[in-house]
Amino acid sequence: MMRGGMGNMQKMMKQMQKMQKDMQKAQEELAEKTIEGTAGGGMVKVVVNGQKEIIDVKIKEEVVDPEDIEMLQDLVLAATNDALKQMDELTNNTMGQFTKGLNIPGL
């Protein structure tokens, strides 16, 4: 009976190693993705990469009015938050496939 237990343990370890490799690959693929957040009907766009770094900010010319600088700041903030939220959702959807049904502390 011990042999069967050891075989199952080895099989489980191989499955865990495969899952770990798959998770690493998914994380690497996510790191290469970009998400574009928008605000003000597309007047402000912010692009975020998979490491949640802002890599681009685009502002349409008609938005830039010195008297409306506070509005512009709010639009940039809203677009940034939109992009980060979308990246969080993409990350959760991608990485969630590995933890379905598992209760692993820290993941």
Each residue's pLDDT tens digit, 21-80: 988 888 888 888 888 988 889 888 888 888 888 888 888 888 777 777 788 888 888 888
Q: pLDDT per residue over 12-25, tens digit each?
A: 888 889 888 988 88
The answer to the question of residue 10 being in a domain is no
Question: How many separate domains does the chain show?
Answer: 1
Predicted TM-score of the model (pTM): 0.57
- Listing DSSP states for 46-96 in one string gives EEEETTS-EEEEEE-GGG--GGGHHHHHHHHHHHHHHHHHHHHHHHHHHHH
Q: Does the residue 73 lie in any domain?
A: yes
Look up the CATH number of the domain holding residue 76. 3.30.1310.10
